Amino acid sequence: MSLTALLADAATVHDVDGAFALADRHPDAFPVPGCGRTWSLWQALAAVAATDLTVARVLEPHLDALAILAEADRAGHPVDLAGGGRWGVFAAEGPGMRLEAHASPDGIRLTGRKPWCSLAGSLDHALVTAWCGPTQRSLYAVGLGRANGVTVDGTPWLARGLAEVPSGPVTFEQSRAVAVGPPGWYLERPGFAWGGMGVAAIWYGGAVGLARRLLQGARTREPDQVGLVHLGAADAALHACRTVLADAAGRVDDGSADGADGAALALRVRQVVARAAEQVQTRVDHALGPAPLALEEDHARRMADLHLYLRQEHAERDQAALGRLVLDRACGFGLGEGTQA
Ligand SMILES: Cc1cc2nc3c(=O)[nH]c(=O)nc-3n(C[C@H](O)[C@H](O)[C@H](O)COP(=O)(O)OP(=O)(O)OC[C@H]3O[C@@H](n4cnc5c(N)ncnc54)[C@H](O)[C@@H]3O)c2cc1C
């Protein structure tokens, strides 16, 4: 089915249940990354995000989990699970929270707390990272729900953006789990970087949604030179996003975005897209003023959704991580000097 058909369908979906149903109706629209159709996947995610960031936020971890399971299978770590259902990926760490994995006579059990578990109360399963030793973490597939000792904490979700995607802490109490890959595999596998760039594709789509409102404003009131400056700057920023994402998708598919190259590429792509999306937000704010923020449900929600979604990025800390890679890897900034592009 074409991107156009996906978009026509996505335009009718605005909630969590609808988002999962959308993925079920369009299985071909969301191929796993790294199998030759990465740009199609990222375009589909971006296009959905341009329509509704909540729908994209529901789809992204679900598709990421399915991609991780497929990657585990390809890497020789098949996981024997009952298929189907709604998936999440819970990998964040937080101060004062620790989730530990222990062997028990009937398999692995997880006990502890995990922060930032999007939609934990609405999902069937999650891929969860947990400490399997003092310094090592592994990835586990876990059935969610009280029957498996998993409870969503009562922490109120006060966010104005992504309000329908509560992402608070979850407690695991002797929860049965199945290991996915050996210790460390979750972070070391090539797909970790690819998934991070898929998130950037969604930020790009969210910014496109805002730029459409900017363009609509310029069409309904003849822009002065300042209005044109904002429109041109937003377009250039989005062009940069599209170009780096398309280039990165090609590298993911041709095998040149594995290992340290993939990690560097993901940091670069996420930097370019996150900064561009922030720039688009600022341009749209300056060009349109407060009225759409105060009076238009769609615009106010889109702005708040993107604001929160972008905070998944580590901003200057990721710039510092990229700076460290550049310094350590004799980077030539794409022009020959040094060994890496
Ligand atoms: C809406 C939403 C949904 C999410 N859903 C999920 C999910 O389903 N699964 C999942 O795994 N994760 C999820 N996350 C978590 C996300 O992946 C990040 O882990 C989370 O945003 C925390 O970001 P962080 O690492 O910057 O936070 P932290 O590392 O806790 O940093 C918080 C702040 O402290 C600052 N800081 C950090 N270290 C230092 C230091 N040494 N000195 C001074 N300042 C410091 C940072 O710059 C930052 O501003 C979600 C996040 C959001 C916002």
- In the prediction, which pLDDT does 337 show? 56
Domains of the chain (ranges; CATH) run 3-74 (no CATH), 87-184 (2.40.110.10), 187-328 (1.20.140.10)
In this structure, the dihedral spanned by the alpha carbons of residues 158, 142, 267 and 200, taken in order and rounded to 10 degrees, is -60
Please check whether residue 296 is in contact with residue 232, taking contact to mean a CB–CB distance below 8 angstroms.
no
Which atom of ligand 1 is the closest one to the Cα of 314?
26
Continuous H helices in the chain: 3-10, 16-25, 38-51, 53-74, 185-188, 190-220, 225-254, 259-288, 291-295, 297-310, 315-328
Contact 142, 126 (CB under 8 A): yes
CB of 89 within 6 A of ligand 1: the answer is yes
Query: Looking at residue 329, what is its pLDDT?
Result: 86
Chain centroid, CA 281 distance in Å: 19
pTM for this entry: 0.96
Q: Is the CB of 306 under 6 A from ligand 1?
A: no
**Residue nearest atom 33 of ligand 1, based on CA coordinates:** 314
pLDDT of residue 335: 85
237 exposure class (CB count in 10 Å sphere: 0-12, 13-18, 19+): buried
The pLDDT score that the predictor gives to residue 183 is 97
Residue 95 is which amino acid? P
Judge if the beta carbon of residue 192 lies within 6 A of ligand 1. Answer: no
The finding on whether 116 has its CB within 6 A of some atom of ligand 1 is yes
* Distance from C-alpha of 231 to C-alpha of 215, rounded to nearest angstrom: 7
Instruction: State both tokens at 280.
Output: 């688009």
Question: 97 CB under 6 A from ligand 1?
Answer: no
Q: Identify the residue whose C-alpha is closest to ligand 1 atom 40.
A: 317
For the CA of 161, the closest atom of ligand 1 is: 1
74 lines ligand 1 (CB under 6 A): no
Q: Compute CA distances 223 → 49, 218, 229, 299, whole Å.
A: 27, 5, 9, 19
Quote the ligand 1 centre to 92 CA distance (angstroms): 7
Four-residue CA torsion sign, 66, 72, 75, 78? negative
- How far from chain centre, in Å, is Cα 315? 15
59: amino acid identity, one letter: L
Question: Phi and psi at residue 165, in whole multiples of 5°?
Answer: -120, 70
* 239 to 45, 192, 253, 288: CA distances (angstroms): 17, 25, 21, 21
Atom 44 in ligand 1: which residue has the minimum CA distance?
Answer: 317
> What letter represents residue 318's amino acid?
D
Is the Cβ atom of 160 under 6 angstroms away from ligand 1? no
Taking only the tens of pLDDT, the chain with its 341 residues reads 578 999 999 999 989 999 999 999 998 999 999 999 999 999 999 999 999 999 999 999 999 999 999 999 999 999 887 668 999 999 999 999 999 999 999 999 999 999 999 999 999 999 999 999 999 999 999 999 999 999 999 889 999 999 999 999 999 999 999 999 999 999 999 999 999 999 999 999 999 999 999 999 999 999 999 999 999 999 999 999 999 999 999 999 999 999 999 999 999 999 999 999 999 999 999 999 999 999 999 999 999 999 999 999 999 999 999 999 999 987 788 887 555 55
Q: How far is the CA of 151 from the centre of ligand 1 (A)?
A: 21
CA 297–ligand 1 middle distance (angstroms): 28
From ligand 1's centre to the CA of 7, what distance in Å?
Answer: 31
Q: Ligand 1 centre from 115 Cα, in Å?
A: 9
Q: How far is the CA of 307 from the centre of ligand 1 (A)?
A: 14
If you take atom 16 of ligand 1, which residue's CA is the nearest one? 312
In this prediction, residue 330 carries a pLDDT of 75
